[in-house]
Structure 1
Amino acid sequence: MFSQKPTYRRWVWISGGLAIVFHGLWVSQHMLLGNGQDLSIINVAVLLCLLLSLSVTMGCSHFQMWIMLPVVYIASVITLLLSAFISNPYILHLGIYPQVMVHIGFALVAFTVMMIAALFALQLGYLDHMLKSHRPHAINVAMPPLIKIENQLIGLIKIGMVLLTISLATGFIFLNHIFDNGQVHKAILAVIAWFVYLFLLTGHYRWGWRGRTVGMLTLLGAVLLILSYFGSRLFSSSY
């Protein structure tokens, strides 16, 4: 996968592309039902892994994201395997509530962008650790330089912030039950994550934060977003 040879890269593209096609077919068959859309927690996890796999596969060559492919592919395999053993349907009728579909759409895309940013943060941390451990030989030549990864990370967070802001705004406007007992912690965690990312960008541009600080705050924001959705769904029966 990390080889510079075009033949190996071509096989990665072919195998990854086929896997994504079948992954997409699974999502269409198990989420888009005749009586509505099944947005159970495991189905949404599978969908998010599909979005991550598709995004990273499409960008791996241009942005040198090859090291991220095993992570997103393994996550996809795990969620698909779990879906075979976990069945807890949660049927919605999004066609009746298009405004909710808008909110969910922005939320999914924002989550995907911020998870890719988290992968960049992990890659940044790995390279930084290798360099500080005086083991530059452990860094594959296919991996981009630190400054390029950091610039891409900041760019992703800025895009993610716009999407996350729209997601939160549409949630407050369109979801009347957002502060219900089963939803309030979801909203609070998402808002805290938004402030963490804002704090990160402010620190980067105003105080020159770089490297480990940027990476740790990126991962903290990602964890908060994961807890915001999946944590709430574990203890709540409603979206």
Structure 2
Amino acid sequence: MHPLLPSLAAVCLYAGAATYQGLRLTQRSTPDKRLLALLGVLALLFHGGSLFLQLHNVQGLTLDFFNAASLIAYAVIALTLLACLRIPAENLLLLLFPLGGLTVLAAEFLPSGTIRPIDEHPGILAHILFSILAYGMLTIAVFQSILLLLQDHQLKHKHPSGLIKNFPPLQTMESLLFGFLWAGWLLLSLSLLSGALFLDDLFAQHLVHKTILSCFAWVVFAVLLWGRHQLGWRGHKAIRWTLAGFCLLMLAYFGSKLVREFILHI
């Protein structure tokens, strides 16, 4: 089966869910959570089907730049939908659904660089899984920090828009942010640990930049979480540290893949 049909179905469902949620929030009414979840789950099913067809290879996993972006978006949306079962994280979906649709389109239609299939050794696959989940959870944290910054700015200037009025209180938004950060940091720790255990040389020439930048990101998030626990860091300081750590992490992953696939062709 060709991945085109499930890709187009996923894009349509993501677009429909985002449009429905956006219209409801613009009208200052609460979207139906069950309908939103249903659309999101259906979109994920088709997204997962297209990913399986694009990634599956008899020699291993074909994880090129755009497939990786699509896989991370899939993990982010899936984790957010799961979080919505316990905490009010629905506002994040308004940004994540379009992101999911864009990455599906990119993986399907944009040309990718040259990349060798990944060996399906269980330890290496565990490292890849932890890495993707860590990037996904920390991506949620970044979206949450941007929404928190926007909400704080509009409340301070006393002109919250219709969208902001539907957000949970600032304290709840901040608690969500640090919940995502703790989960992402723990997953990143497991990613680095599994990489050290199962990769032949974590500091090989094609991995050294990714490893060093990921370690720097790990330190940044660790300092942020320590500052929150010991010094009560919050607000703009927490947001700045979150964005700094995320930028290092994205440079480590996507920066290295861009250089390898489109410049060095390895």
State the partner residue of 1:26.
50
Amino acid at match of 1:94: D
Question: Which residue of 2 is the match for residue 122 of structure 1?
Answer: 146
Give the one of 137, 145, 170 matched to 2:194: 170
1:146 maps to amino acid: L
Segment of structure 1 superposing worse, 134-143 or 124-133: 134-143
Provide Cα deviations, 1:51-98, integer angstroms capped at 9, x if missing partner. 112222333364222221122111122222222121335343533x22
Residue of structure 2 aligned with 1:187, choices 211, 214, 217: 211
SS at match of 2:93: helix
> 2:177: which partner in 1?
153
Q: Does 1:65 align with 2:89?
A: yes
Letter in 2 for 1:110: A
Residue equivalent to 2:77: 53
Give the structure 2 partner of residue 90 of structure 1: 115
Q: SS of the residue aligned with 2:256?
A: helix
> Following the alignment from structure 2 to structure 1, what is the Cα–Cα distance between the partners of residues 194 and 250?
19
Instruction: Provide the C-alpha distance between the structure 2 equivalents of 1:48 and 1:17, rounded to a whole number of angstroms.
Output: 16
> Which residue does the alignment assign to 1:80?
104
Post-superposition shift, 1:140?
Answer: 4.1
Residue of structure 2 in register with 1:11 after alignment = 35
Q: Aligned match of 2:248 in 215, 224, 230?
A: 224
What's the secondary structure of 2:175's corresponding residue? helix
Instruction: Kindly tell me the number of residue pairs found equivalent between the two proteins.
Output: 237
Q: Work out which of the residue numbers 156, 167, 183 in structure 2 matches 1:143.
A: 167
Q: Following the alignment from structure 1 to structure 2, what is the Cα–Cα distance between the partners of residues 13 and 214?
A: 30
CA–CA separation in structure 2 for the residues paired with 1:137 and 1:232 = 39
Q: Deviations over 1:135-169 (max 9, x none)?
A: 24545443111111112211221222221111112
SS at match of 2:61: strand
Distance 1:14 1:159 in 2: 25
Alpha-carbon distance change, 5 to 115 in structure 1, aligned in 2, over 3 angstroms: closer
Superposition TM-score, scaled by structure 2 size:
0.81
1:111-133 C-alpha deviation (Å, 9 max, x unpaired): 11111111111121111111111
Identity of aligned residues (%): 30
Separation in structure 1 between the aligned mates of residue 112 and residue 218 of structure 2, nearest angstrom: 32
Runs of 5+ consecutive residues of structure 1 not aligned to the other structure: none
Distance (whole Å) between structure 2 residues aligned to residue 137 and residue 108 of structure 1:
34
Normalised TM-score (structure 1): 0.90
- Alpha-carbon distance in 1 for matches of 2:56, 2:210: 25
**Pairwise CA distance, 1:44:** 1.0
Shift of 1:40: 0.9
Runs of 4+ in structure 1 deviating by more than 6 angstroms, as ranges, are: none
> Residue 105 of structure 1 aligns with which residue?
129
Aligned residue number for residue 214 of structure 1: 238
